Structure 1
Amino acid sequence: MNIKNKQFQFIVTLFLVIISSKINSQQIDYHSEKKIDSIISLLTLHEKVAMCHAQSKFSTPGVDRLGIPEIWMSDGPHGVRGEINWDDWGYANWTNDSITAFPALTCLAATFNPKLSKEYGISLGEEARYRKKDVLLGPGVNIYRTPLNGRNFEYMGEDPYLASKMVVPYIQGVQQNGVAACVKHFALNNQELWRNHINVEVSDRALYEIYLPAFKAAVIEGKVWSLMGAYNQFRGQHTTHNQILMNTILKEDWAFDGVVISDWGSTHNTNEAALNGLDIEMGTGTDGLTTSTKNTYDYYYLANPFLEKLKNNDVSEDVLNDKVRRILRLMFRTNMNPNRSFGRMNNQEHLDVARKIAAEGIVLLKNENSFFPINPSKKITIAVIGENATKSMTIGGGSSELKAKKEISPLQGLKNKYKNATILYGLGYASGPSAYGRVIPSTLDADKLKNEAVALASKADVVLFFGGLNKNHQQDCEGGDRQEFELPFGQNELLNELLKVNNNVGVLLVSGNAVEIPWLDNVKALMQTWYLGSETGNAIADVISGDVNPSGKLPFSFPKKLNDNAAHSFGKLSYPGDSINQYYKEDILVGYRWHDTKKIKPLFAFGEGKSYTTFKLSDFKTDKKEYAQNETITISGNVINTGEIDGAEVVQVYVGKSKSKVKRALKELKGFQKVTVLKGGTESVEILINTNDLSFYDESISNWNLEKGDYLIYVGNASNNISKEIKITIK
């Protein structure tokens, strides 16, 4: 067949795709698969190999002669990153790439609201589509194992069930716009220190029960179209081309039909990349930084070296064709899908979604004598203290940094809301400028800042201290873990000085991680406010004023001291490892599982969060007492709002089994439901659990095993606040 006939055949094929195939946003039908095969037959070996690796920092090549488009990717997961230069990490300085910044995924998880996750995904997908992106590099679902992990703010907490339920609607929302979500980082990427080489050793049971469920849900329930490999190793092999993870689990057991994309610089070997499931290689060369000719795109592991192995028959062309088939399938779902929308960006609806998620994710942890809400009509003097009241949190953090069209600071949000109040502001402490990969100390006089803040606090009726972390290096930031559990930049000392002159202090923590809180007994109130994106200040003011009643719940535990955390309790080989190997010695007892089972009381528990009203859970029961395998347990009851204002409560259902033949956590989250209840009102709740979901991963048979016998169902509104226990039996 000559070139002209090949081109004609491709054009006819593409025309038939458009007129005869409804390219479903969730799956590719048999006829479309046949068309993909016909396209593969038209491609040269060189063209197919070229599709398997980058041509720039964030794109892969198409095939010009056949009209096959490039694939364009963008960092996420909280917004579409500003445009990056073709060959380096500098920003392209476009004037039309400012976007809506959405709250960090820790905040989304804290809402315990899958409906909001769907709204998040839809809005973010619309912005990515408008920016002509085909793949959005997010969401992240790595499990919160240690509060020192620099990227915890990008993930969905410590519980695999919560992360699973929140990630699926996010993915569906993004992908309904014809943009592929790319769930990451697969798998066991639970720290930034030594992330490029640390070898993780973990039991099969912990792998399947703790670290894989959210990825599995993303693939099987969310039908995610792409997945990103991680930097670290697992059992001596890099995860991006790991035989167990990519071939056995992902592509065989879970039947993943999408594209595996490397993290930038996570590919290390041509043979393994070819044979162990990697489809598209990105960012190879000095951790993604192309620094010399030998590291440019044609010398990637899946570029010329891969081509040579194919020509020498060291690797079968069937291996290459499978990669190209997946890539074309991704295109049929995205940039070759004629039915996808045009997208939208920076509209009021997106800002409204960002503000709603931000406000609903804020967690009220202490509220002595109803310190909050603060009535905005009162003529009072409020001293706002802390750098985090004014510091931009959309920049920094590594690859998730954003170029927001606007970002309302907490201070500005309070000024917008409290028109009748006198608001004084003092910096109090300073962190220094943000710089990726290094810490730049502040040049400001710390003592002077402290003294100025104390003077302001002495004149105020109320002090609002905005502290916590930020997105500088070794805070909440990619590329480096935190160096300490306590608050940085002298915040503890500053708070103690403020309390000497004013005992009416409320603290608003800005962070994506737990921190040590030695001053908790001395402050009147505490809120965990996360990184909230474009509408940060407005959302915080909504909650402080009472316009929004807080309903967020912690998606991870706050230990009292660092060694109370499971990973840290076993010493350095558990975290951070010896720089070569690391052993997850806590096994399945991550987060609240550890605190519950070992009876180590946390400072704040998983699922904990207060409201401005009060609730009572009543009449909770199961539909019967005995169940069989693969049968639905129905837990039902009522939530009564016993307070004076409307509010929302999260009913949490945990399940535990005593007298098990294997080690188990005291209880594990297996269901939850968020319900809004009017003041004085009652709402019914029904939560369904399949008995198979109570199975443990049995290493003796390498499969799931449902034990017969008695189980306890715990119903409450936090992992440490259980109001009802129900005994059931599985036959």
Structure 2
Amino acid sequence: MKANDGISISKKASLLCGADFFGTRAISDLDIPRLQLLDGGTGMNFEQLFVDQYASYCEVNGYTRTELDNVAHFYFEEGKLTDRERDLRDYIMSHEELRTGLSGIAPGCYPPGILLGSTWDPEVVRRVGEVLGQEADMYGVDCLLGTPNVNILRDPRNGRFFEGYSEDPYLAGTLGREIVKGVESQGIASDVKHFAANNLEYKRGTINEVISERALREIYLPAFKMCLEAGAATVMTSYPKINGIKATENQHLIREILRDEWHYGGVNMTDWGACTGDSGEAVEAGIDLLMPGPWSDEDILNALSDGRLSKEHLNEAYSRVKNMASKYGYRPQVTQEEAAEIIRRGDKAAYEAAAEGIVLLENNGIFPLKGTEKLVLYGSEKLLYCGRGSAQVFTNRNKALGDSFPVVHYGDDEVFSSEPMSVAIVVCSIDSSEGSDRKDLKLNPETIRVLDRLINVKCSSLLSGRICLVLNTPGPVELGDYINEIDALWAVYYPGMQGAKALVDLMYGARTPSGKLTCSWPVRYEDTPAFLHYPEGDTAYYGEGIFVGYRGYEIRKIAPLYAFGYGLSYTTFDIGNVTTYKGTYTADETVTVLFSIENTGEYEGAETVQLYVGAQESSVRRPIKELRAFKKVRLGPGQKTSCELSFNASDLKCWDEELDRFALEDGIYDIYLGNSSDNAARVLSIKVIGGDPAYRIGIDSYVIKIKDNPQLYSVLMEDIVRHDMDIAILIDAERYTPYTRLSELYPDAAELSEFIRVCSLV
């Protein structure tokens, strides 16, 4: 059967189905090329690439999947391979040279979202996106998956916590879209995942997440919208059910929001194996590409026959995948000289990201090092450069921590106990992976043993040195009483291939720390807003609603150990002279806040000025304040400059579930300025007018809202009597059903002219 355009329905259906594990289907007579898909947002994933390219060869030649996995993992560590595995590696290496036209290349391992987010620097993030796109081109990859992962950092136990950018949707979207811009600028298709709310790994394929519409709209969806508006070619749906419906078949999310509201015209693909229902219904819901392959088109064709899928939606999906293949499927091969330059740029971009994103959390006078200290290293000299799963990268381009220090002693307690100028560098490395969540936020046992031993030495010897803890972790950890015993603390997360070099440069003052946290660090896990809502069965209730991260800490008056936006520097800054152009703004006007910032210390450095806004009063419960703008300002010692930050008054809308839309309420809004969520002072207030009329008091207001204004309530009662309406109806409603609208009590409420007149003056 052929459609009106002469292309058979079966060919159209087949294009929506993956051809192999990481490839789309080629249709040669329609000049539609195969697209090579691959993770990811931290670099080329050899495990995926080798399965896609060489699984068939292995099957024919008697190699096991374990042997192929080992070759991927130890491709650059030949000594760890068996003789058979070395033979397989040699075949793959020679074939890769033929496939790419390049020899002697290795992928870069770039910092994941949590560290890129900690840069608070859009330009740094965009440059990482550019080199990710260039390396994808180098390896013949057309679509780079997970560029970016903007799932909100809701619960620090999440196994993929390190992949996300922030607990704040505005920050996640602002930085995530720079990855999109960078990747797309190189002619590579970017991919935003996981749409939506893939915030835990626990039973991710079957869990039902119960999330309010308001939380979806305000917290879990905005970063996706920002990335798609930046030009992302694709978006990937998530595994879970959301409010009872699988994300891959969720018409509300895909058809109504993504397509109809946001007018997104790119390709919507499933996560690998996420579509566990009927393929035809997934396409009807708005899915364009079903992965992985080989995926059967049988149910798509059946759905067309029995009416579960419309031809219109099939044609739309076909056109989107075809257009993507036409746009991204043809590029000239990278030359050997170009590859060498790409690797050089990649090393530089990875270094800058790590140097700008590593966060100094505590510093009791240790750093910057003077160069005379004796350093004793505990823990592995090889950091965990990346997490496991889709974000893992195997390469020979990683820099070791031990090699980055000028001189270092390994685990020498004698040096630490007898040298007052010694510094123990204790590296706490905690692994994390896609597929499972962390059991807790504890330090690992080996780190605890080392710290206990060093603290005992420190307490018993006047000659002992000082203790620096380096957290090579996927996210926050509980520090307990150790926070009072250590002298310095760094959060390096998984810092990528240049992370060790960047950390050492920061320690010695070659760079000044400027990283800021993008998630709140709890004193204990129980303090996190989502703690009580970690699932034990098949349902995850997002009971904290919109109060994720710092929003939840502030509304509950629980102080985190380290607040959102926090990070130390070697220098100090003073922010002052804060003003706006005027005090009253209409609902669609831009609000510009002007301020000065001065470096009052002795080192060159950068400060991230953060602007938060909070409503003084609101008809719906709102966070105390929310991030609306930020700027990273770099200044030399004694240097001072004038800056400005802007946001639109319409950004202050919140999702009203009764109105079923975003709505802005007139009122007074406080503006806070500072360098973290708990160090942002209220500097001024603005008045916003011209908001949603539904919030203005009148005949459609609840009785309880009118009653809260005694003068207005008195006018109402008098007007009811004046119009011979039954006052007892109002009195009963006040007592027993105060959340009834006045117009529901009195069908002729529009006749209450005096009440309406006075309302207009309120």
In the alignment, does 2:655 pair up with 1:697? yes
Q: How far 1:45 moved relative to its partner?
A: 2.4
Deviates more, 1:402-411 or 1:337-346: 337-346
Q: Distance in 2 between matches of 1:525 and 1:680?
A: 26
Q: How far 1:513 moved relative to its partner?
A: 0.8
Q: 1:36-435 alignment to 2 at 5 Å?
A: 41-82=5-46, 83-86=49-52, 87=55, 90-91=68-69, 93=89, 94-95=92-93, 98-138=106-146, 139-220=148-229, 222-270=230-278, 271-283=280-292, 297-299=294-296, 303-311=297-305, 315-336=309-330, 344=339, 346-368=342-364, 370-376=365-371, 378=372, 380-387=373-380, 389-394=381-386, 397-414=388-405, 418=406, 421=407, 423-426=408-411
1:448 corresponds in structure 2 to none
Contact 2:384 2:472 in 1 (8 A): no
Superimposed CA distance per residue, residues 117-147 of structure 1 (whole angstroms, 9 cap, x where no aligned partner): 1111111111111211111101100001111
1:391–1:712 distance in 2 versus 1, CA, 3 Å: closer
Contact 1:385 1:463 in 2 (8 A): no
Tell me the SS of whatever aligns to 1:666: coil
Tell me the SS of whatever aligns to 1:182: strand
1:25 corresponds in structure 2 to none
Tell me the SS of whatever aligns to 1:566: coil
* RMSD, aligned α-carbons: 2.3
What code does the residue aligned with 2:605 have?
G
Contact 2:133 2:188 in 1 (8 A): yes
Deviates more, 1:314-323 or 1:136-145: 314-323
Q: 1:640-719 alignment to 2 at 5 Å?
A: 640-719=598-677
Contact 2:385 2:497 in 1 (8 A): no
Superimposed CA distance per residue, residues 50-96 of structure 1 (whole angstroms, 9 cap, x where no aligned partner): 21112211001111233321011011111121122235874564335
Q: Distance in 2 between matches of 1:624 and 1:110?
A: 33
1:560 corresponds in structure 2 to 523
Superimposed CA distance per residue, residues 605-626 of structure 1 (whole angstroms, 9 cap, x where no aligned partner): 0000010011111111222111
1:482 corresponds in structure 2 to 438
In the alignment, does 2:470 pair up with 1:470? no
Q: Distance in 2 between matches of 1:551 and 1:104?
A: 17
Q: Distance in 2 between matches of 1:243 and 1:315?
A: 13
Superimposed CA distance per residue, residues 134-174 of structure 1 (whole angstroms, 9 cap, x where no aligned partner): 11101100001111001010110100010111011210110
Q: Distance in 2 between matches of 1:529 and 1:580?
A: 34
2:457 corresponds in structure 1 to 501
Q: Distance in 2 between matches of 1:702 and 1:337?
A: 45
Superimposed CA distance per residue, residues 452-508 of structure 1 (whole angstroms, 9 cap, x where no aligned partner): x6456335543343433433xxxx210000001211234223212112224501111
1:314–1:531 distance in 2 versus 1, CA, 3 Å: closer
Contact 1:566 1:586 in 2 (8 A): yes
Contact 1:468 1:515 in 2 (8 A): no
Contact 1:643 1:680 in 2 (8 A): yes
Tell me the SS of whatever aligns to 1:60: coil
1:328–1:466 distance in 2 versus 1, CA, 3 Å: farther
Contact 2:375 2:425 in 1 (8 A): no
More helix by share: 2
Q: Distance in 1 between matches of 2:449 and 2:319?
A: 59
1:398–1:338 distance in 2 versus 1, CA, 3 Å: closer
Tell me the SS of whatever aligns to 2:530: helix
Contact 2:160 2:433 in 1 (8 A): yes
Tell me the SS of whatever aligns to 2:50: coil
Gaps of 5+ in 2: 57-64, 73-88, 97-104, 459-464, 690-762
Q: How far 1:317 moved relative to its partner?
A: 2.8
In the alignment, does 2:509 pair up with 1:517? no
Q: How far 1:112 moved relative to its partner?
A: 0.5
Tell me the SS of whatever aligns to 1:727: strand
2:507 corresponds in structure 1 to 544
Number of residue-to-residue matches in the alignment = 633
1:491–1:313 distance in 2 versus 1, CA, 3 Å: same
1:341–1:67 distance in 2 versus 1, CA, 3 Å: farther
1:279–1:115 distance in 2 versus 1, CA, 3 Å: same
Contact 1:464 1:508 in 2 (8 A): no
Deviates more, 1:93-102 or 1:161-170: 93-102
Q: Distance in 1 between matches of 2:228 and 2:242?
A: 20
Q: Distance in 2 between matches of 1:132 and 1:552?
A: 34
Q: Distance in 1 between matches of 2:415 and 2:384?
A: 23
Gaps of 5+ in 1: 7-36, 284-295, 427-452
Contact 1:57 1:84 in 2 (8 A): no
Q: Distance in 2 between matches of 1:229 and 1:455?
A: 55
In the alignment, does 2:559 pair up with 1:601? yes
2:696 corresponds in structure 1 to none
Q: Distance in 2 between matches of 1:462 and 1:356?
A: 28
Deviates more, 1:192-201 or 1:90-99: 90-99
1:443 corresponds in structure 2 to none
Q: Distance in 2 between matches of 1:231 and 1:84?
A: 24
Q: Distance in 2 between matches of 1:709 and 1:723?
A: 20
Contact 1:260 1:280 in 2 (8 A): yes
1:226–1:340 distance in 2 versus 1, CA, 3 Å: farther
In the alignment, does 2:493 pair up with 1:530? yes
Q: Distance in 1 between matches of 2:334 and 2:241?
A: 37
Superimposed CA distance per residue, residues 313-337 of structure 1 (whole angstroms, 9 cap, x where no aligned partner): 6533332211110001212321147
Tell me the SS of whatever aligns to 2:283: helix
1:142–1:298 distance in 2 versus 1, CA, 3 Å: closer
Contact 2:239 2:248 in 1 (8 A): yes
Q: How far 1:41 moved relative to its partner?
A: 2.9
What code does the residue aligned with 2:138 have?
Y
1:412–1:42 distance in 2 versus 1, CA, 3 Å: farther
Contact 2:583 2:685 in 1 (8 A): yes
Q: How far 1:257 moved relative to its partner?
A: 0.4
1:463–1:118 distance in 2 versus 1, CA, 3 Å: same
Q: How far 1:708 moved relative to its partner?
A: 0.8
Q: Distance in 1 between matches of 2:169 and 2:270?
A: 23
In the alignment, does 2:595 pair up with 1:637? yes
Larger Rg: 2
Contact 2:25 2:33 in 1 (8 A): yes
Tell me the SS of whatever aligns to 1:513: coil
Contact 1:710 1:728 in 2 (8 A): yes
Contact 2:281 2:308 in 1 (8 A): no
What code does the residue aligned with 2:393 have?
L
Q: How far 1:725 moved relative to its partner?
A: 2.1
Tell me the SS of whatever aligns to 1:534: coil
Tell me the SS of whatever aligns to 1:587: coil
